[in-house]
Every structure is written in C-alpha cells, then in structure tokens.
C-alpha cells in the first residue's frame, strides 16, 4: 500500500484525498526594522546641513528661535582692505566728532614792564579817588575787550611782583606791586609767564623774589608758568583745558642778567635741550598741544640771534605747536617752522612790549598775537586765523598817562605828546611805526590797515 495514500482510522475503507503540505513561505521584512535607522540618518544629515549653513553664515544656530529678547546682530568679518589705502579712507565716518571739543580763541601779549612812574600814577589816582588800594585799570582800559573776548589769554609779566616786601624799583632791578597782577587777572589774562631775565632781580641769591611772586600769583585765578619752587614743581607740567582742548605750557629763559642762585630749592628754567626734550615728551602725554614761552634774543632789534634760530628749530623738531617769544622789547619776525617730522610750528620770535616807559619808538610797539585752535573730528588740531593786533604803549613827558592804545586808534597828536620824543629825544611818528611792522612781520600775519598804510 502506498504509504502516501494510506490513512489510519478512516471510515471509508482507508481512502481519503491526499494531503499536500507546503513548505512554509518566507516572512516579509517588517518596516519597523528600517524606520529607526532612516530617521537617525535623516536627523544626522539635517544636523550636518544646519551646522554647515551656520559655519558659512558665521553664525551659531539658535537653539531657541522663539526667544524675542534683543540679540546681537550677526558678526560678519570686515572686508579685507588694501594696505595701500590711506588713513582717511579707513578712518571712522565723520558724522559725529570723536571728542567733545570746539574752537579756542587765543591771544598772547608781550613784555609787561612795570616802571615806577606807572606805579606812582596808580597811587596818585587811588588817593584822588579815596581808594585804599590802587589798581591799573586805567592803563589797560582801551584794549581790555581783546583780552576779555578771548577764550585764553597769555601775558609775559617781565618783572617781579613782590609787593611791599621790597621797595618799588625799576631798571635794572625791578619790583612791582601785587595790584598790577590783580588787574591783569581781573581783565581776563589766564596764563602768566615769569621766566625772564629779571626773575632774580630781588632776593636773587636764594630766589626769594621768585617765591614771593609765585605765592602772590597762586592767589589769583591764573595759571603761572616760569617760576618753580623746587624740582618736582618744575617737572609738573602746567595744563590748561578750554572747550575740551588740553594745552601744555612750558617756559624757559636764556639768562638772568648774570645773576645766579646760590642756595635754596627755587628753580630757574634756563634753556637746556635735555630738559626741554624730556618736558615736551611729558607734556605730549598729557595734552593735545604744547606751547612754549621763550625769553631769548637781543634787545631793541628785529634781528634774530643764532641762539633763537637754533632753539626755534629744536622746538619745532620736537613737535611743539606754538612758540611765544619775548624779551627784545620790540616786534620780531613771525614764522611757520617745519619740524623734522613735517610738523609745522608757529613761532613769534618776540611780541614786543605791552607796557613800558622806554626810550625808542619801536619799544612803544606791542600788541597781541591772535589765532584760533581748531579741532577736527579725528583728534587733530590746526592753528588758524593767525594775525597781529598791534598796540602802542603811551606815556607823556611827565611819565604819566600810561595807557595802551590800539595802533589803529593812536593819533598823530598822541604821538607828538609821547614821552619817548619829549623826554628822550626820540620822536614817535606813526609812519615809522607802520613801516617797522611792515618790514619786520610777514604780510600774511598783518591786518589790512597796516599792510595798506
């Protein structure tokens, strides 16, 4: 019997349809096996794409885009620049100033020589007016508007003001009253120089006259330069700030008429290149500009000395901005001097006399050097509108009527009454005064009324 057809326990005689058994079909792969890897690949790929985009955009991907608080703007790299581009092309835009500064108007007056007749006149006027204290407003009344109208005003106080600590005295060893200094401060002078050839006239051995004068000036609303109590004081650079501009003032004198200190701590600031170089460098660290008061040269001449030429160039090479020269008792040339680095220094070799009772007509000529200090938006400063405002120091035959006039207001009648002509035999003629200015000072610095004379 065919075992494939033979059944067991069948009721039909043992036959039934054959049973065909299939081999089990292979199972279909389930999608669940692929979902997780696919998702992982997609996520990783997305993250890689996002990271690449962030790197290319130079921006970190935000993990919380819903945050609405202020965020820093994208930090993009600045464009590459050609090294040959000028500073002007790469400097900050000029829409706003870098510093809160504005133009400073500046005037400088020359030698303020206090002779005894001027003091006696002040005493006489005080007694006549019933005043206990004299003043000198009568001497400066006609020109004080220029001083008061400037943002900063400088004057060279040629002679010591020791008050009644010493007798009033004139040439050759001067001493004047405190009231002169009070008047100068009251009419608006801001910076006073006392580094002159007369700074040892009183108490010269110990510098006592300098100390007394300095102590007086310290009571006034001015910045004093040129008289120093000790080395530390000497090296403490005087800085004046006006309209946001800082100006350092240094002062030196060529000599003190042969007088020298023998003791004491007081310092006389003689010209010395090593000292000047060190002090100019210190001044530049603290100030925007450096001005130097230079007491030098020969008296009663417009001819410059080798000493003046040498030190003027040295100061220009150091980058000094302005040199205010004094001592000759008459105007000397004004120049722009080029320093070794191309810097231009304005140098007035001598500003002449502001007041004096001297014998030559050119000694009567003085005035103001006037200019503007103009800042730009890049931290640079220009000296502009440089001009001379000439004045005449007048006194009569009796050495009274001591008055400073503007040259434009000085008349032939006043010139004829000048003590220079009557008392010294040296007549003052307006034509000579104008001729001296035109022959001494470059026309670019003179007002039209002088040039056209």
Q: What percent of the chain is modeled with pLDDT above 90?
A: 77
The per-residue pLDDT of the chain, averaged, comes to 85
DSSP state string for 242-299: ETTEEEEEEEEES--TT----SSS-B--B--HHHHHHHHHHHHHH-SEEEEEEE-S-T
Using alpha carbons only, what angle is made at residue 338 by residues 336 and 341, rounded to the nearest 5 degrees? 150
pTM: 0.79
CB burial string 253-288: b at 16+ within 10 A, e below: bbbbeebebeeeebbbbebeeeebeebbebbbeebb
Q: Using CB atoms within 10 Å of the CB of residue 58, give its burial: 0 to 12 exposed, 13 to 18 middle, 19+ buried.
A: exposed
pLDDT at 332: 98
pLDDT, tens digit (0-9, with 9 covering 90-100), for 258-316: 999 999 999 999 999 999 999 999 999 999 999 999 999 999 999 999 999 999 999 99
In the three-class reduction of DSSP (H, G, I as helix; E, B as strand; rest coil), residue 369 is classed as strand
pLDDT at 316: 98
pLDDT at 96: 44
pLDDT, tens digit (0-9, with 9 covering 90-100), for 107-159: 999 999 999 999 999 999 999 999 999 999 999 999 999 999 999 999 999 99
Asked if 226 and 214 touch (Cβ cutoff 8 Å), the reply is: no
pLDDT at 57: 42
Asked if 134 and 177 touch (Cβ cutoff 8 Å), the reply is: yes
CB burial string 296-317: b at 16+ within 10 A, e below: bbbeeebebeeebeebbbbbbb
A 10 A CB-CB count for 170 gives 17
Strands across the sheet with 289-295, in order?
Answer: 238-242, 245-253, 289-295, 322-326, 344-348, 334-338
Q: Which helix (H) or strand (E) holds 110?
A: strand 104-112
| Cα 363 off chain centre by | 31
Q: How far apart are CA 52 and CA 395, in angstroms?
A: 90
Residue 435 has pLDDT above 80, yes or no: yes
> What is the maximal distance between C-alpha atoms in the chain?
180
Mean pLDDT of 344-356: 98
Residue 23 has pLDDT above 90, yes or no: no
Residue 445 makes CB contacts below 8 A (sequence gap 6+) with 334, 386, 387, 388
Is the backbone peptide bond immediately before 27 cis, with ω within 30 degrees of 0?
A: no
pLDDT at 100: 87
Domain boundaries, the chain: 104-451
Residue 56 has pLDDT above 50, yes or no: no
Lowest-confidence segment of 67-76, 96-105, 328-337 by average pLDDT = 67-76
Residue 393 makes CB contacts below 8 A (sequence gap 6+) with 353, 354, 355, 356, 357, 363, 364, 366, 402, 404
C-alpha distance from residue 108 to each of 105, 188, 397, 439 (Å): 11, 12, 29, 21
CATH of domain 104-451: 3.60.21.10
Residue 50 has pLDDT above 60, yes or no: no
Residue 358 makes CB contacts below 8 A (sequence gap 6+) with 113, 329, 364, 420
Strands 245-253 and 289-295: parallel
A 10 A CB-CB count for 205 gives 12
Mean pLDDT of 422-449: 98
Residue 447 has pLDDT above 60, yes or no: yes
pLDDT at 40: 53
- Shortest CA distance to 411 belongs to which of 190, 142, 66, 25? 142
Asked if 284 and 319 touch (Cβ cutoff 8 Å), the reply is: yes
pLDDT at 59: 39
Helices in 59-115 by DSSP H: which ranges? 87-90
pLDDT at 49: 52
Mean pLDDT of 68-79: 34
| Cα 31 off chain centre by | 84
- Residue 362 backbone dihedrals phi, psi, to 5 degrees: -70, -20
pLDDT, tens digit (0-9, with 9 covering 90-100), for 393-419: 999 999 999 999 999 999 999 999 999
pLDDT at 46: 54
Q: How far apart are CA 18 and CA 161, in angstroms?
A: 148
Residue 323 has pLDDT above 90, yes or no: yes
């Amino acid at each position: 019997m065919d075992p494939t057809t033979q059944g067991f326990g069948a009721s039909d005689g043992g036959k039934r349809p054959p049973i065909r058994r299939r081999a089990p079909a292979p199972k279909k792969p389930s999608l669940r096996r692929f979902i997780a890897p696919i998702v992982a690949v997609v996520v990783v790929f997305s993250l890689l794409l996002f990271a690449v985009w962030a790197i290319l955009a130079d921006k970190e991907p935000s993990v919380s885009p819903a945050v609405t608080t202020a965020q820093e703007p994208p930090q993009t790299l600045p464009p590459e620049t050609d090294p040959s581009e000028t500073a002007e092309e790469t400097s900050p835009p000029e829409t706003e100033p870098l510093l809160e500064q504005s133009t400073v108007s500046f005037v400088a007056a020359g030698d303020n020589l206090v002779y005894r007749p001027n003091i006696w006149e002040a005493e006489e006027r005080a007694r006549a007016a019933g005043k206990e204290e004299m003043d000198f407003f009568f001497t400066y009344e006609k020109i004080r508007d220029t001083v008061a109208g400037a943002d900063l005003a400088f004057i060279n106080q040629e002679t010591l003001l020791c008050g009644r600590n010493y007798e009033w005295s004139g040439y050759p060893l001067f001493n004047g009253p405190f009231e002169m200094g009070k008047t100068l401060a009251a009419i608006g002078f801001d910076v006073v120089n006392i580094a002159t050839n007369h700074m040892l006239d009183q108490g010269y051995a110990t510098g006592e006259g300098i100390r007394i004068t300095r102590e007086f000036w310290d009571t006034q609303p001015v910045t004093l330069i040129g008289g120093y109590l000790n080395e530390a004081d000497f090296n403490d650079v005087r800085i004046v700030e006006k309209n946001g501009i800082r100006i350092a003032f240094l002062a030196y004198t060529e000599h003190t008429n042969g007088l020298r200190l023998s003791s004491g701590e007081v310092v006389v600031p003689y010209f010395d290149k090593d000292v000047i170089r060190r002090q100019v460098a210190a001044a530049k660290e603290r100030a925007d500009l450096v001005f130097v008061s230079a007491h030098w040269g020969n008296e009663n001449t417009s001819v410059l000395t080798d000493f003046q030429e040498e030190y003027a160039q040295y100061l220009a090479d150091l980058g000094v901005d302005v040199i205010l020269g004094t001592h000759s008792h008459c105007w000397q040339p004004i120049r722009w001097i080029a320093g070794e680095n191309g810097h231009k220094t304005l140098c007035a070799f001598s500003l002449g006399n502001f007041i004096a009772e001297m014998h030559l007509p050119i000694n009567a000529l003085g005035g103001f050097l006037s200019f503007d200090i103009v800042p730009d938006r890049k931290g640079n400063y220009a000296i502009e509108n440089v001009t001379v405002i000439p004045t005449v120091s007048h006194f009569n035959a009796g050495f009274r009527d001591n008055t400073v006039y503007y040259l434009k207001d000085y008349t032939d009648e006043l010139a004829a009454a000048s003590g220079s002509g009557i008392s010294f035999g040296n007549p003052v003629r307006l034509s000579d005064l104008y001729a001296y200015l035109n022959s001494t000072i470059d026309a670019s610095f003179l007002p039209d009324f002088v040039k056209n004379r």
